[in-house]
Amino acid sequence: MGGAVCEEGMIPLQGVPQYVSVRADRQDAPLLLYLHGGPGDAALPLVRKYNRALERDFTVAVWEQRGTGKSYYPFGGGERVTIEVFLEDLMALTRYLLERFHQEKLYLVGHSWGSVLGLRFLQRHPELVRAYVGCGQVVHMKESCRRAYDFACAGASGKTLEKLRGIDCAYTGEHWLDDLLFVTGQVVKQGGSLYGKRSYNSLVAPFLFSGQYGLKDLMGRQKGSLQSLQRLWPELMETDFEDVRAYGVPVIFVEGRHDAHVSSALAWEYYETIRTEKRFFWFEASCHFPQWSESGRFNELMAEVLR
């Protein structure tokens, strides 16, 4: 079986150094690759804090995607920054991990933006994936944004409601980024994103006290998130999986019952149309982050269903 695995550092993916953490209690555990949200929402300290138990059953790889967190660098004006580039990075990382740990397939867990990469990768390379887990699964981005906007409006009043009514939730106007950040902020303040909370403060603290993130990394996460949104959001808005009814491997959705950030109701509606092997799990005390809001249950579920 061998001893524990602890490998962390930069790996060149398509010539761009990107930070990858790989940890496990034993050498021969099956690979599980975590795809963080955003775009640009690097999450290594959160996975280490809330999902460390996964390392008992899996070789857990956490990738800080290009341009954010510990992989931060400023995108060049003429640089190609598209969903396709991230899928190519994911392919390069997958091949590296499978070769490094002498395995033929891995488990893929995608959260939010990461769920877009996950399902797209699954469509292309089912032969490399044992099973796919989507949390805060993106299905039809425009419809999800409309539902998030409606949720924000329903709980707003006064000047806030007046401002919301002037926003186009398709986010195509001159000030689309400011509009997006305002609507998202309202969803968070109204408790539709992080269960039982009206801010993300509890998700910031693990970065400050993890011992893994220095000041440079914290600034990189903030700047990386902003530049990733700016460059990728318009393309992300075109995401729509509703016509995809079959996948080559088992698909598992883990959804917070109260997720208004990326509509979990929409994920359920889509799930019902999938014709291939599938499972769906509602997390009743979660919104957009079931893997952290109910981490104990999530970790136990992964050990149970990923076999």
- Report helix, strand and coil shares of the chain as percent, to nearest 5: 45, 20, 35
CATH at residue 266: 3.40.50.1820
User: Which residue range forms the structural domain that includes residue 122?
Assistant: 5-140+192-305
Residue 40 lies in a domain: yes
> How many domains does one find in the chain?
1
Residue 182 lies in a domain: no
Residue 204 lies in a domain: yes
Residue 294 lies in a domain: yes
b/e sequence 191-228, b meaning 16+ C-beta within 10 Å? bbbbbebeeeeebeebbeeeebbeeebeebbebbbebb
Phi–psi pair at 215, nearest 5 degrees: -60, -40
DSSP strand pairing (16-24 vs 59-64): antiparallel
Residue 261 contacts residue 189 (beta carbons within 8 Å)? no
Q: How far apart are CA 110 and CA 199, in angstroms?
A: 23
Encode pLDDT of 127-161 as tens digits: 999 999 999 999 999 999 999 999 999 999 999 99
Encode pLDDT of 11-45 as tens digits: 999 999 999 999 999 999 999 999 999 999 999 99
Omega of the bond leading into 39 within 30 degrees of 0 (cis): yes
Residue 100 lies in a domain: yes
Residue 151 lies in a domain: no
Residue 27 lies in a domain: yes
Please tell me the pTM assigned to this model.
0.97
Residue 112 lies in a domain: yes
| Predicted local distance difference test score (pLDDT) of residue 146 | 98
